[in-house]
Amino acid sequence: MGVELNANQYAPRAISKSGWVILLLVSLSVIGNDRSAAWPQYPPQNGGSSGGKPAGGDSGKSLEELEHEIATNKLQESEQSLREYLKNHPDSSRAHYDLGYVQFRAHSFGASIKELSKSLELNPTNAEAHKILALDCSIVGRYDMAEVELQQAVRLKPESAEIHYFLARTYYSRGVYPLAKSEFEESLRLDPHNIKAYSNLGITLEALGDTEGALAYYQTAARLDDQQKQKSEWPYLYLSGFYNRQHRAAKALTYARKAMQVNPQSDAIYFEIAKAYRTQRELRRATDAIQRAIAMNEAASDYYYVLGMLLREMGRQKESEQVLAKFAELQSGHAPADHVQQEPLVAEPN
């Protein structure tokens, strides 16, 4: 029997909600508000204050009408109306949640944190508010806070495969792989068609040393994706990365090329191609591939690491040193070089 782990072992010290807001805003002041991300679809809420009243007098929109605008991605139109609604109904937890969600989608993370925190002060039983606040936390790198919010969300809404998936991703980011495994498995039990959960369970098993099990889940994700009308490159990218880590460059290239057929503009694909060519000692082709990856995404520190190593192996020492200096500059406070790539935490609605 394996060691039984409890999520409470990894929970951070208790912090008041107002204290969390201060810590998160400090994080945002360091990171800035220009982080790109993809967002979950909007789920209208039933909790909190009544939404039938108009936003600004009899001529204003009801909260239900505003939520319909949010659900159809009319975010700019709804934000100002929500502010007007809250002037008249400052104790509407539902309206604070709606505004926090809109601000989250608009990359206004600091404002989103404030609104979601206010919503939860008024109604701490809103699982969706805990979930979106957790995603805010993840974006600013506060996985400890995201973990606690998602634990609350799971307690309030245990039937949500999505919340279990997000909690698993948070455990994975914190290196708590046994708990990540359990949560991905629960997410798949609730939603057996979640392709991302299969892929992420694969990288979790790989981190736990189960390469055979990991490969099976990667292959399942790719097989399920093949059945979709709208395909993703990520199941093939996970397989390419897996074979690169196994030093099986030919297989890695095969799946990278399949991924490229889906999305030829992915810098992550060129990164895997570069690593495969490096294994095959085709250094010029590897260099071309990693330079294309950097041209697409200049902020990815591990791309510079691979380029620096390639230049060193080609005898271009001075250029290598310059590139590795850039790597060190970007690397500060981020994941180790050549870490496992993951798709965005959440998907942009169509």
pLDDT, tens digit, 9 for 90 and up, residues 84-128: 999 999 999 999 999 999 999 998 988 999 999 999 999 999 999
The predicted-structure confidence for 320-329, as pLDDT tens digits, reads as follows 999 999 999 9
pLDDT of residue 76 exceeding 70: yes
Which pLDDT value is given to residue 141?
A: 84
Residue 65 Cα to chain centre, angstroms:
30
Which residues, listed in sequence order, are joined to residue 54 by a DSSP beta bridge?
62
Other CB atoms within 10 Å distance of the CB of residue 175: 10
What is the pLDDT of the chain when averaged over all its residues?
84
pLDDT tier, 140 (very low <50, low <70, confident <90, very high otherwise): confident
Task: Say which CATH architecture domain 158-231 belongs to.
Answer: Alpha Horseshoe (1.25)
3-state secondary structure of 62: strand
342 against 331, higher pLDDT: 331
pLDDT of residue 311 exceeding 70: yes
pLDDT tier, 41 (very low <50, low <70, confident <90, very high otherwise): low
3-state secondary structure of 307: helix
Instruction: Give how far Cα 283 sits from Cα of 86, 276, 312, 314, Å.
Output: 60, 10, 10, 7
Q: Residue 82 and residue 251: Cα distance in Å, rounded? A: 52
What stretches of the chain show up as alpha helix (H) in DSSP?
Answer: 17-31, 63-71, 75-88, 93-105, 109-122, 127-139, 143-156, 161-173, 177-190, 195-207, 211-226, 234-245, 249-262, 267-279, 283-296, 301-313, 317-331
**b vs e for 176-212, b when ≥16 Cβ sit within 10 Å of the residue's Cβ?**
bbebbbbbbebbbebeeebbbbbbbbbbbbbbeeeee
Which pLDDT value is given to residue 19?
A: 44
Residue ranges per domain, the chain? 15-156, 158-231, 259-342
pLDDT tier, 242 (very low <50, low <70, confident <90, very high otherwise): very high
3-state secondary structure of 54: strand
Backbone angles phi, psi at 140, to 5 degrees: -90, 10
Q: What's 259-342's CATH class?
A: mainly alpha
pLDDT tier, 149 (very low <50, low <70, confident <90, very high otherwise): very high
Which pLDDT value is given to residue 32?
A: 34
Which pLDDT value is given to residue 31?
A: 32
Q: Residue 153 and residue 129: Cα distance in Å, rounded? A: 8
Are 83 and 99 a contacting pair, CB within 8 Å?
yes
Which pLDDT value is given to residue 335?
A: 52
Q: Residue 150 and residue 159: Cα distance in Å, rounded? A: 13
Instruction: Give how far Cα 308 sits from Cα of 224, 305, 319, Å.
Output: 37, 5, 8
The predicted-structure confidence for 193-218, as pLDDT tens digits, reads as follows 999 999 999 999 999 999 999 999 99
Are 169 and 200 a contacting pair, CB within 8 Å?
yes
Which pLDDT value is given to residue 339?
A: 60
Which pLDDT value is given to residue 341?
A: 74
pLDDT tier, 130 (very low <50, low <70, confident <90, very high otherwise): very high
Q: What's 15-156's CATH class?
A: mainly alpha
pLDDT tier, 17 (very low <50, low <70, confident <90, very high otherwise): very low
Q: Which of 78-82, 121-125, 223-227, 246-250 has the lowest mean pLDDT?
A: 78-82
Per-residue pLDDT, averaged over 51-57, amounts to: 50
For residue 202, which of 161, 235, 158 has the smallest C-alpha distance? 235
pLDDT of residue 190 exceeding 60: yes
Q: Residue 325 and residue 305: Cα distance in Å, rounded? A: 9
Here the tokens at position 120 are: 């939860």
The predicted-structure confidence for 255-271, as pLDDT tens digits, reads as follows 999 999 999 999 999 99
